Amino acid sequence: MPQSQQPPSERLSGSVERVTFHSPESGFCVLRVKVRGERELITVVGSAASVTPGEYLQAEGGWVNDRQHGLQFKATGLRIIPPSTLDGIERYLGSGMVKGIGPHFARKLVRAFGERVFEVIEDNPERLLELDGIGPKRQKRVTEAWAEQKVIREIMVFLQSHGVGTARAVRIYKTYGEQSVERVRENPYRLALDIHGIGFKTADTIAARLGIPHDSPIRAQAGVRHVLQEIAGEGHCAAWHETLVEQSCALLEIPEPIIQEAIRTELAEERLIAEPIEDRPALFLAPLQRAEIGVARGLERLQLDPPPWGRIDVEKALPWVEAQTGLELSESQRAAVATAVSGKVTIITGGPGVGKTTVVNGILRILRAKGVEVLLCTPTGRAAKRLSESTGGEARTIHRLLEFDPQVMGFKRDQYSPLDTDLLVVDEVSMVDLVLMNQLLRAVPTRAALLLVGDVDQLPSVGPGAVLADLIGSGAVPTVRLTEIFRQAAASRIVVNAHRINAGRMPEPPDAARPDSDFYLIRCDTPEDIHDRLMRVVTERIPSRFGLDPVRDVQVLTPMNRGGLGSRALNVALQGALNPDAQPRIERFGWTYAPGDKVIQLVNDYDKEVFNGDIGRIRSIDIEEGLLTIDFDGRQVVYETGELDEVALAYATSVHKAQGSEYPAVVIPLATQHFTLLQRNLLYTAVTRGKRLVVLIAQPKALGMAVKQTGSSKRLTKLRWRLMEERA
């Protein structure tokens, strides 16, 4: 707007009656304010780190006539002051801002202590016990929440004064506590390392505002580390030296010599480790290099001794197990059982319908008859549940098995306190990343045997590494690949088409003569057609034709998060179609949530025992207390609203997030706009997630690309060579 059109600057003050809108990310707010001398409430638009009804506001700015919303006061500066009138104090305390105080207790507090109520909570909290209904427990909760709220507001004001959104203030407080502002001032780049949801760019913005020079060593080091972490975030354990330099120069826009010096400093401080891969210079984050060495040495150590159960006569054991189960094993299954009962470390791999479960059960039956102690584990809760059902033994997640302790952020089980077992069976090994595999192997006693089961053709783990592929590729671990599809599995078009895709062949559409297929291929010309068909298939066709619940039983799996067919846009559309009227609704971190919504956990939360990829349903939302209850497989878990950046809507999720899970029905959109992610192992993984029904809605060209493309996303690791060296 040219200078001549700027509204003349005025001052306005009054009490905030209603917060119509407030974005914790940007601070932008629309407020309804009671101004002395004005009969009607005034609309004030501006920016504030935090604002609560009942607070007093001082604004500077001017009047504008908005075409849509009428006359508003547009504030260039907003100052929020705690309320001083009794009515304002009551509304301020009753807004749910302080956990433990809702409207009812706010009224009580104001009646008892009047204008001194803030003073009482802060300086004489024992006086709260004078009130009816406030015991030591609630008093402690209120005073702690009050102190927390004060620090969180301080962080919010600090962040906003440096041009950064305030949505993560609660998480910053939870990480750094009382010293939050001090710690961030000292080194803003630690935010990008320590706080989920804050990236390097945000930390860089604060650093620039704090006057840290563009080419300072602290910025160069933080940038180099950030680039290497981003590369690790894509699954690589290392980066080529020249790639790291190139990407760091591009991100930081500073000369190469400064980047090279930053790398030298990081190497000297042992945060990075330089080591060639196939004679080419590469750089590792220190924990990943140590984890690779740990995995190679752990497997070597386990293979030194014979199995704890001694020698088993396989010629007798195989017919015995067939007689016990009433099943006839195929040649590859017999080989798998024989290898596992005769060896110390064994890998069994193969696709759907090849009888991996039958083999594992056969092995367990033989060994249990010998009195062998067995432990079963998997990377995810859902996979553990399936393994328990298929083997009749108790299966746990790896984190539970290793007894993760959130207090010290480490496992209780390790080489000093190993697992008590003769055999450890790990299922869904393709999902286990390098760091977790290292932790697991450390806890396996040298005398014990190890059986690793998984499908090497699926997507590799979300975390760094390609552990299963590297183990098999090294030749250092005896491996049996099951290939024969069993008769009952061959009747499933899901199984047949999964194997066709894995062999680089196009899936077959259902046979017109057999209308009740479990696999459907719908061809569409445009992304818009895919979107329309997908909405109809999920909300109408599958529920009416198959009697499946569109929220509970149907999972949309998409290759990417962004774009019209990404999980973000599809979630908004599906939420609008499947859960439009649920109340109350709450908006946080760019999502709107309501009871009944399906959500997915995005990070491991060890305190709550909820892990990346777990899917739940919102049971209730308590606006007053600022709490949500989410049901994860029958377990009720409570989240504060400030923790909702840990979850996202899950009507649609990325294929990566669905690893290790199975769903009654899966719907997969494939468009050429997804071209960078169209890989055979991605499509194969998506198709094998469906138990009763798979519907593929695709542009023919995109489907062709997905079936043909392999290997371009190969991960950079050194584990294969380390295993070969250990073996040699």
Structure tokens at 625: 């207390």
Task: Kindly provide the b/e burial profile for residues 429-460, where b requires at least 16 CB atoms within 10 angstroms of the residue's own CB.
Answer: bbbbbbbbbbbbbbbbeeebbbbbbbbbbbbb
Structure tokens at 267: 């190497």
Crossing angle of helices 680-687 and 700-708, rounded to 10°: 110
Rg (Cα) of the chain, in Å, rounded? 29
> Does residue 698 contact residue 670 with C-beta atoms inside 8 Å?
yes
Task: Kindly provide the b/e burial profile for residues 371-392, where b requires at least 16 CB atoms within 10 angstroms of the residue's own CB.
Answer: ebebbbbbbbbbbbebbeebbe
| Interacting residues of 360 by C-beta distance below 8 A, sequence separation 6+ | 348, 390, 391, 425, 427, 451, 453
Amino acid residing at 711: G
The sign of the CA dihedral 546, 547, 549, 552 is negative
The DSSP-derived string for 526-556 is: SHHHHHHHHHHIIIIIHHHHH---TTTTEEE
Structure tokens at 229: 């972490």
Residues 78-82: contacts with CB under 8 Å, at least 24 apart? 78/29, 78/44, 78/46, 78/47, 78/48, 78/51, 80/16, 80/48, 80/50, 80/51, 80/55, 80/56, 81/55, 81/56, 81/57, 82/55, 82/56, 82/118
Query: How much of the chain is helix, strand and coil, in % rounded to 5?
Result: 45, 20, 35
Dihedral, CA of residue 547, residue 548, residue 549 and residue 554, to nearest 10:
-150
Structure tokens at 120: 């009482």
| Interacting residues of 376 by C-beta distance below 8 A, sequence separation 6+ | 384, 387, 388, 391, 393, 394, 395, 396, 425, 427
Has 353 been labeled as part of a binding site? Answer: yes
Using DSSP bridges, classify how beta strands 70-81 and 56-66 pair: parallel, antiparallel or unpaired. antiparallel
Has 354 been labeled as part of a binding site? Answer: yes
E strand intervals along 457-518: 479-482
Distances from the Cα of 374 to the Cα of 126, 339, 367, 494, angstroms: 55, 17, 9, 32
Has 70 been labeled as part of a binding site? Answer: no
Has 667 been labeled as part of a binding site? Answer: no
> Does residue 453 contact residue 322 with C-beta atoms inside 8 Å?
no
Has 356 been labeled as part of a binding site? Answer: yes
On the CB side of 301, how many CA atoms lie within 13 Å of its CA? 16
Closest CA to 555 of 431, 460, 690: 690
| Interacting residues of 257 by C-beta distance below 8 A, sequence separation 6+ | none
CA distance 143 to 146: 5
CA 65 to chain centre: 44
Q: How many CB atoms lie within 10 A of CB 72?
A: 18
> Does residue 340 contact residue 348 with C-beta atoms inside 8 Å?
yes
CA distance 92 to 86: 10
Indicate the annotated binding residues for ATP.
Answer: 353-357
Indicate the annotated binding residues.
Answer: 353-357
